[in-house]
A and B are shown apart, each in its own frame.
Chain A
């Protein structure tokens, strides 16, 4: 995608640096002249938003650590100390906590966009798989971060989730003891979670760099799913994508900060303002909202081990998505049946979240089982079959053709799909 470098520094200092370490050139070629498809819509701005959210989480996190104490006797109070005494701590702590939720909102939209426009298909398989890896690292980081305030939900969430590993045959018990560093979630657990919660974001940066690298090798997919064919199909990253991303980011931050300032606890659980008590379990334990669909899948299976396998499998399945989808057409715009399937699986995923938030009693159990069944049916059966049976709509011959046809310009010459 990226052609020959056109970086030609006029500043002698930049030239001197570029001759010795071509980092300015790399930045210039990646974020200024880098050609992006001209038809990218706002769903494509979430990559940039995620990048900013990651940086925002790391900066607020580093600052919070300056005031936080990872010890069972002090952790809860130190978070309250941040919220009440530390200068601007009130905002910084909420920014970090609400930021985690909005990080996940952005990543879910980003993943759904990839599924709708078939961004995982050849030659972008590795790009997609790195994205799934990023999602897993995010989940682990978010889980351990939620334990740190040492509230009731922190403690019992940690206990229930680490206890999932006790489902492992034969080694279950020793693994859980090893994870805890004791016979229960205790100080040793809190301290290691703190250590890893600080480490994983930097692992995340590493995988994100690989993700962006892979993106810049294959180039971006676009709403038509037709590859870029000529310079006419693209525009320069700066100013076009830069400004579009910036505008989307502003809108996203208006919503994000509205939550930070006016409803910081709306996405959390009030019970977490009660300090962790190992002798009393709250009546209704639920994970943070962004884990709910997977939690519902875990509980849908009556067997402990199989439930854990299904839960991890529901994400692992995304790794092989490029090979499960047999259709050669990328974008759902030109796939009438897949388009409907996409919206159904979105509804199913959302409904699983609702099931996960409710106690596993009566009707909710059945609903969770039906939805879990459909979730796996979609990926393992429907997706491969529909790709073979569906007749796609004719694809535009190029991105510029599609753009011009949409704007009533010159007649688009349509060609049948492969």
Chain B
């Protein structure tokens, strides 16, 4: 039996590292499909837009429709509600961002920024409380708007958070008018 010289340490190290690196890449490429399969599937994403006819809604009436599995509240606001929302100072709001997907981030949360100009009677917003996702109830709360029954958040007549644990105003989804009384959400 002859003794074998210790192999070149650098070479051996390189082989170990290279093997480990290939193994890590392999493990990661296996993990990606296994993790990503949990993200929304193509069929869920395909439901990304929905059209609503606002014609039948009368003043002071709200409807709730489903968009991507979530409720969207559409309210034909009364003149009094619009007036109240416009009279509120930005400084009195808990969240100064309009949270309107149709406007750039950071737009101030004025009532004008919560609706589309010329159609300010129609407030279109997600019926998803920004606290933990419950559906706020309309015509309730201290601000002539919505009240979330889960943890007691109050939203005003423009859907802006005024009181309670919710951190943000109700989100306004991306939508556009297709005709005078028809909108497309998403």
Contacts and interface: CB of A to CB of B under 8 A. Distances in A.
Interface of A: 156, 159-160, 163-164, 166, 177-186, 188, 192, 278-285, 299, 302, 304, 359-361
B132 A164 contact: yes
Contact of B134 (A179, A281, A304): A281
B78 interface: no
Contact of B149 (A164, A180, A281): A281
A171 to B, nearest CB: 13
Contacts of B149: 281-285
Contact of B165 (A166, A284, A302): A302
Given A188-B41, A281-B135, 4 more contacts: A182-B68, A279-B127, A281-B134, A304-B165
A160 B150 contact: yes
Contacts of B165: 302, 304
Chief secondary structure at chain B's binding surface = loop
B64 interface: yes
Contacts of B135: 278-281
A160 B132 contact: yes
A184 B40 contact: no
B60 interface: no
Given A182-B44, A360-B152, A160 B134 contact: yes
A159 B133 contact: yes
B151 interface: yes
A178 B40 CA distance: 7
B66 interface: yes
B41 A278 contact: no
Contacts of A285: 134, 149-150
A192 B133 contact: no
A164 B133 CA distance: 10
B69 A182 contact: yes
Contact of B69 (A184, A282, A361): A184
Nearest to A186: B69
A192 B167 CA distance: 29
Interface in B133-153: 133-135, 137, 148-152
B58 interface: no
A281 B40 CA distance: 24
B132 A163 contact: yes
Of the four ranges (under 10, 10 to 19, 20 to 34, 35 or more), the interface on chain B belongs to 20 to 34
A280 B68 CA distance: 16
Given A159-B132, A183-B68, A177 B39 contact: yes
Interface string B156-175: 00000000010100000000
Contacts of A160: 132-134, 150
Interface in B43-99: 44, 64, 66, 68-71
A177 B150 CA distance: 21
A188 B150 contact: no
Contact of B70 (A164, A278, A284): A278
Contacts of A159: 132-134
A343 to B, nearest CB: 32
16 contacts: A156-B134, A160-B150, A177-B40, A181-B44, A183-B44, A186-B44, A188-B41, A188-B44, A279-B135, A280-B135, A281-B134, A281-B149, A283-B149, A285-B134, A299-B151, A304-B131
A285 B151 CA distance: 9
Contacts of A304: 131, 165, 167
A-B residue pairs, 7 tightest by C-beta: A184-B69, A281-B134, A183-B68, A163-B132, A163-B133, A160-B132, A281-B135
Max chain B C-beta neighbours (<10 A), residue from A156, A182, A185, A283 = A182
A360 B148 CA distance: 12
B70 A184 contact: yes
Max chain B C-beta neighbours (<10 A), residue from A180, A183, A285, A299 = A183
Contacts of B41: 181, 188
A12 B35 CA distance: 51
Contacts of A166: 133
Nearest to B37: A181
B17 interface: no
B30 interface: no
A177 B68 CA distance: 12
A219 B39 CA distance: 46
A360 B149 CA distance: 11
